[in-house]
Structure 1
Amino acid sequence: MTQKIIKFPLQLTDSESTKRNSLVLDGYSVIEKCIQNTEEKGMLYLEESVLLLVLEGSASLTFGKQTYTVAKNQLTLLKKARVYEYEKKGNSNNKNIYHELLIVLKDDLIKSFLTTTEKIIPKETNGEIGNGVHSMTECLIIFTESIDPYFNDKPEMYSGQLRLKLKEMLYHLGIGNQSLFQELTQLREPVKTEIQDVMEQNFFSPITLTDFAYISGRSLSSFKRDFQNIYNMPPATWIRKKRLEKAKEILETTQLPISEICFSLGFENVSHFSRIFKEYHGNTPNFYRAK
């Protein structure tokens, strides 16, 4: 079922079957633990880059045309300003439990680590499984176990301790996996990407033009200029046009409720969506659903 896009880390999934805990540093959550025993599907917009560590069960992720699965004791790096579709499944051999850690990687954390750390020489480089999925080293597994007692403030973790634990984790990543560590070091250096690819993969996402510019590796002014040269219209006009055309396609080919279509395409208000839909297509969403 299509769901409204969740923003992370500011907005979290919350249900009776889901237990989430946070470790907070400088006023924002840096590590989230999720344990649940029901399957879950949704769409996640990342406001910061995040490491996903799966400790039990599996998570399937889709970005653009790429889909990959992260299984038990595996991890992947999810980059900020992107929307991922996800499906979480528990381990049928362990009461259908799904267990994950989400570790937020703010730019200042990466910068501080790289500027204050001696050169790291990876000892193991065979942890990549494919499509950006990596095996967790024994040291990383032990790290996840070492922070578990600190959730729910039992015992209390001081900010200095948490900074040290995050630095410890980055050391484990650097020493244990060369390709993943290279991904981390490049987080603050966006690579210039074709605007057409950026827009087709993200036009339905509830993100700003600044986010689109970041994803494409451009300043906001350069992004707007390059976009205008390619499409001969402002980005906001193109985005609304694409979303409304996609909405009509979904209405004609699925039975999804109009509200779900509205939210999944980045519109936040159903009445506003219905009004501009009629202005663009000449008929209401209900007309195309009946058809």
Structure 2
Amino acid sequence: MKTRSDKMIKVPQELTNNWARKVSLKLDGLSVIEFSCQTEGRKGSYFLKEHLLLIVRSGVCTLRFEDRTYTVRSNELMFIHKSIAIEFEKMGAPNYNYAIDYMMVFLNDKIVEELFKFAGIKPIHPVDDVIPVTVFPINECIRSYIETLKPFIEKPDEVNEGLVRVKLMELLFHVADSNERFLYQLMQPINKDRSSIAKVMEENITNPVSLNDLAFLTGRSLATFKRDFQAIYHTSPLKWIRNRRLDKAKELLAETDLTVTDVCFSSGFENIAHFSKVFKEKFGFPPSEFRQKQKLQGKA
């Protein structure tokens, strides 16, 4: 269960003020965030708004997606497909005073399209076995490349944006050259089953997803997703999600001791004032008063 302290966050957007962030480099379509810290274990939950390349130079990162667990260790690289929710745990290397050093490279659709156009890569025919997470070793080319990237991310304001873009495009070529599945993963939605609306909606009730995310996860355009959803549920996706989240919040208020703030985040809302307002609109009382009435009824 997600509470305020470990609520799922959207990345890369909400990593801007992360305590462990060392440096960052942002371009239109791509961002790089480097982390260097000491920890014996830190957990959290992410919803990936963009594709992620996770490069671990020292330490261990463990990620869980659905019922699978993936581990990336020192001198390994992990590719994670966009529009999925993951749980992660990172731990520093015991032999190096629990130091962990890794880099997160986020890629949106614009930079992916630019890569394919620049490389002259033709669209790949859809396949049915696209795996959203892949771990592979960092080869010598990638290892050498990372060292040449350091001056760019340590002083991002002092380098030419065009040069940075070419330099980061080089990374994508190195990764594609070292793992042929990389291009397939970039180009394919995770779930192309057009009957998957119900499954996708249930899995993402409390995740910070947009309508575009949900449409992507079901393999539909936004317009088609809205039309198909209306035909199934006879309401809009936003109203359906809000009502399910409110029902979840009502259940948590009645059956747990979580604070109202924790209930807000655990049920998928991101703003406490908005949560209190819509909760009162549906159930007639604000969350705190609703809880008090539940306690009184229990004692009666």
Separation (CA, whole Å) in 2 of partners of 1:139 and 1:249: 53
- The corresponding residue for 2:52 is 50
- 1:1-291 to 2 correspondence within 5 Å? 2=3, 3-12=6-15, 14=17, 16=19, 18-26=20-28, 30-38=31-39, 39-117=41-119, 132-153=134-155, 156-186=158-188, 191-193=192-194, 194-251=196-253, 255-277=257-279, 280=282, 284=287, 286-287=291-292
Return the letter of the residue paired with 2:215.
A
Contact 1:224 1:235 in 2 (8 A): yes
Contact 2:30 2:108 in 1 (8 A): no
Aligned residue for 2:13, secondary structure, equals: coil
Contact 2:24 2:156 in 1 (8 A): no
Separation (CA, whole Å) in 2 of partners of 1:95 and 1:174: 34
Shift of 1:282: 7.0
1:168-225 alpha-carbon deviations (Å, 9 max, x no partner):
21221121111223212436x9835511221122121222222211221212221122
Runs of 5+ consecutive residues of structure 2 not aligned to the other structure: 123-130
Shift of 1:275: 4.8
Shift of 1:262: 1.2
TM-score (norm 2): 0.78
Closer, same or farther: CA 133–288 of 1 in aligned 2, 3 Å: farther
Separation (CA, whole Å) in 2 of partners of 1:70 and 1:50: 13
Q: Which moved more, 1:72-81 or 1:198-207?
A: 72-81
Q: Report the RMSD for the aligned CA atoms in angstroms.
A: 3.3
- The corresponding residue for 1:125 is none
Closer, same or farther: CA 268–175 of 1 in aligned 2, 3 Å: closer
Closer, same or farther: CA 131–12 of 1 in aligned 2, 3 Å: closer
Aligned residue for 1:11, secondary structure, equals: helix
Contact 1:251 1:288 in 2 (8 A): no
Return the letter of the residue paired with 1:241.
N
Percent identity of equivalent pairs: 36
Contact 2:78 2:134 in 1 (8 A): yes
Return the letter of the residue paired with 1:101.
M
Point out the structure with the larger helix share. 2
Closer, same or farther: CA 170–96 of 1 in aligned 2, 3 Å: same
Q: Which moved more, 1:277-286 or 1:193-202?
A: 277-286
Separation (CA, whole Å) in 2 of partners of 1:229 and 1:199: 15
1:264-285 alpha-carbon deviations (Å, 9 max, x no partner):
4331232442454456567746
Closer, same or farther: CA 103–238 of 1 in aligned 2, 3 Å: same
Closer, same or farther: CA 57–34 of 1 in aligned 2, 3 Å: same
- The corresponding residue for 2:126 is none
1:27-75 alpha-carbon deviations (Å, 9 max, x no partner):
x762110112133322223332221222222222233444333222222
Separation (CA, whole Å) in 2 of partners of 1:288 and 1:71: 51
Q: Which moved more, 1:98-107 or 1:37-46?
A: 37-46
Aligned residue for 1:173, secondary structure, equals: helix
Q: How many residues align?
A: 280
Separation (CA, whole Å) in 1 of partners of 2:133 and 2:17: 29
Separation (CA, whole Å) in 1 of partners of 2:210 and 2:181: 30
Runs of 5+ consecutive residues of structure 1 not aligned to the other structure: 121-128
Aligned residue for 1:20, secondary structure, equals: strand
Separation (CA, whole Å) in 2 of partners of 1:29 and 1:112: 11
Shift of 1:21: 0.8
Return the letter of the residue paired with 1:140.
I
Contact 2:46 2:85 in 1 (8 A): yes
